[in-house]
Structure 1
């Protein structure tokens, strides 16, 4: 039962669709790590079971070869005993000839028994050979899957690191967008423009004040002129004229 479960696991793991398992996993990295451990442990366990199966097959093959050799040896002994019996019978010694014929029959019986054992073992050897071939292929497939798993795990780790780096860059870009240094410049520019506007207003006010002063100066000159003319009238003199007639 233990061997059957191991061999069934070999077949199951060898046929596993890694890409499908990765797609269905919540955390592919953890899943791949666990699969690598499972494959490694299963391969080690399967190697022991397969080695024992191969060892049993080799013992069967050795027993079969021994049965074949024994059948040949007993056949040779039967032939030698039969020839000896023929020689003794030709010499007129029928008693000893019969003994050697009986010995030849015993040897032939042993030969038949050895041949039967060899024939009986052949189907088992054939089926065990097929099982061993399948197990070897399964182990090779599992080793290939393990290599694929390790490569896939390394690839995912590299892709994960790349994705983290890209996410950090994107977060940095988003933070820059949120801060928006151009908006700070715009606010600073607006502040300067407001300061410039205040200066322009102050200059305009200063200019208006200067015009008013000149207007006041002109009004003061008119009052002086009026006072001068009024004084001239009172003195009986014609008022001075600011306009001179031409000759």
Structure 2
């Protein structure tokens, strides 16, 4: 049950679609951070459980190898005892021969027992080897997903920082819009224009006053000419 539970959880995590999870999350960064922590913890738990499963499998394999070895050893002992019994029986020592035949039977019984134990363990060992291979594959898949999640989180953080910087630049550009007549620069420009207009008005005013002065001089000149001609007329008469 423990191994099946681990394998099921590994399979579920490996099949997780990161993009779908991000789309459904209210805060993708927080969700990815949590997923990274979950995957990291699950990987650590899976590694411990798989290591224990592999350890148990290797013990079963060692027991199986010992059963096979014991069966072979009991077979050799049975053969040796049977051969000794045949030798004694040939030499006329029937009682001693029977004893060795009995020993051969005991050895054969031990051999059969070891063979049965080895054969009984073989299906379980084969099944456990399959489970271990699936668990290893699942674990590698989880590690791959963890790398994918980490890369996705880092990409998201970079994009978020870039977007924030762009937003700040955009806001700064909006606040310093020289074409906005309500801005400080617009008001200052309007003030300068008024001062320039005032200077132009003063220049026009000064120019008008100077023209009037010259016109008065012209009038004086005309009067002087009249007076001079009048004096000439009188002198000629």
Same fold judged by TM-score > 0.5?
Answer: yes
Task: Give the Å deviation of 1:129.
Answer: 0.9
Deviations, residues 130-169 of structure 1 (Å, cap 9, x unaligned): 1111212222222232233233323322332222222212
Deviations, residues 87-130 of structure 1 (Å, cap 9, x unaligned): 11111222332332233222222212211211111111111011
Task: Give the Å deviation of 1:241.
Answer: 4.2
2:209 to 206, 211, 225: 206
Please identify, of 172-181 and 8-17, the stretch whose mean Cα deviation from structure 2 is larger. 172-181
1:18 aligns with 2:18: yes
Instruction: Name 1:236's counterpart in structure 2.
Output: none
Contact 2:88 2:94 in 1 (8 A): yes
Task: Give the Å deviation of 1:77.
Answer: 1.2
- The RMSD of aligned alpha carbons is 3.2
Instruction: Name 1:161's counterpart in structure 2.
Output: 161
Distance in structure 1 (CA, Å) of the matches to 2:113 and 2:8: 37
Distance in structure 2 (CA, Å) of the matches to 1:188 and 1:58: 92
Distance in structure 2 (CA, Å) of the matches to 1:150 and 1:218: 101
Distance in structure 1 (CA, Å) of the matches to 2:232 and 2:36: 124
Deviations, residues 16-73 of structure 1 (Å, cap 9, x unaligned): 3333333433222111110111011111211221121111101111110111011111
Contact 2:7 2:135 in 1 (8 A): yes
1:30 aligns with 2:33: no
Contact 2:178 2:185 in 1 (8 A): no
Residues paired across the two proteins, number: 232
Please identify, of 175-184 and 144-153, the stretch whose mean Cα deviation from structure 2 is larger. 175-184
* Counterpart secondary structure, 2:176: helix
Instruction: Name 1:94's counterpart in structure 2.
Output: 94
Instruction: Name 2:197's counterpart in structure 1.
Output: 194
TM-score, normalised on structure 2?
Answer: 0.81
Instruction: Name 2:66's counterpart in structure 1.
Output: 66
* Counterpart secondary structure, 2:101: helix
Distance in structure 2 (CA, Å) of the matches to 1:113 and 1:197: 124
Instruction: Name 1:117's counterpart in structure 2.
Output: 117
Please identify, of 4-13 and 65-74, the stretch whose mean Cα deviation from structure 2 is larger. 4-13
Distance in structure 2 (CA, Å) of the matches to 1:103 and 1:240: 185
TM-score, normalised on structure 1?
Answer: 0.78
Q: Bigger radius of gyration, 1 or 2?
A: 1
Distance in structure 1 (CA, Å) of the matches to 2:168 and 2:232: 94
Unaligned runs of 5+ in 2: none
Unaligned runs of 5+ in 1: 230-238
